[in-house]
């Protein structure tokens, strides 16, 4: 069983990997001239990157070594405009499981401060899964005319509207 610090460092890689995947999805939508889907995914990429940097800040503040690992390359090709959102939802579900395991490890290793720190991530992941589930429902309904999904995004905010004042600080501050 890894130490809590080792597991947090592993989660940093997962978060940076999620960020890279969102960039790849955004670039695909950009190339397909779907700017609002692209913009949504670029925002998600920044959010995931910031999650990684929050974990880095936690380790630095705890006097632990933070490592910045390499990440696997993201999927860059998709069959249709629905597939990237399906992948993003799968990714959010996976990250939720990873954060849940990390929180359980904190509890098992009596890392009480770490467990409290992770409560924000657990809440955030619930919102991320709900948000991406809603976006998937929209793009599936609009699959025959994906521009309807763009129109929907022009009218309706999917996900949070930006900075969360309850979020933990990220390494590097508000970059």
What is the per-residue pLDDT across 121-139, written as a single tens digit (0 to 9) for each?
999 999 999 999 999 999 9
pLDDT at position 172: 78
The residue that leads in pLDDT, 162 or 102, is 102
Considering the domain delimited by 4-155, tell me its CATH architecture: Up-down Bundle (1.20)
pLDDT at position 174: 53
pLDDT at position 167: 77
When pLDDT is cut at 50, 70 and 90, the band that residue 164 belongs to is confident
Give 18's Cβ-side CA count (13 Å radius): 30
Backbone Cα Rg of the chain: 17
Could you tell me which of 141, 118, 156, 125 has the C-alpha nearest to residue 36? 156
Q: How far is CA 141 from the centre of its chain?
A: 24
Number of residues in the chain: 175
SS3 track for the chain: CCCHHHHHHHHHHHHHHHHHHHHHHHHHHHHCCCHHHHHHHHHHHHHHHHHHHHHHHHHHHCCCCCCCCCCCCCCCCCCCCCHHHHHHHHHHHHHHHHHHHHHHHHHHCCCHHHHHHHHHHHHHHHHHHHHHHHHHHHHHHCCCCCHHHHHHHHHCCCCCCCCCCCCCCCCCCCC
35-61 and 83-108 helices cross at what angle (nearest 10)?
Answer: 10
**pTM for the structure as a whole:** 0.91
């Amino acid at each position: 069983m890894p130490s809590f610090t080792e597991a947090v460092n592993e989660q940093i890689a997962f978060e940076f990997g999620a960020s890279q995947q969102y960039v790849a999805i955004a670039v695909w939508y950009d190339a397909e001239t779907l700017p609002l889907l692209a913009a949504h995914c670029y925002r998600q990429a920044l959010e995931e990157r910031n999650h990684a940097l929050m974990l880095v800040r936690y380790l630095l503040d705890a006097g632990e070594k933070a490592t910045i690992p390499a990440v696997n390359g993201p999927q860059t090709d998709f069959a249709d405009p629905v597939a990237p959102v399906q992948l993003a939802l799968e990714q959010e579900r996976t990250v939720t499981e990873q954060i849940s395991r990390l929180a359980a490890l904190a509890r098992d290793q009596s890392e009480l401060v770490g467990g409290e720190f992770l409560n924000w991530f657990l809440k955030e992941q619930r919102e991320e899964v709900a948000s991406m589930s809603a976006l998937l429902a929209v793009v599936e309904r609009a699959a025959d005319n994906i521009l309807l999904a763009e129109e929907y995004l022009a009218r309706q905010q999917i996900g949070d509207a930006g900075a969360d004042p309850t979020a933990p600080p990220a390494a590097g501050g508000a970059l």
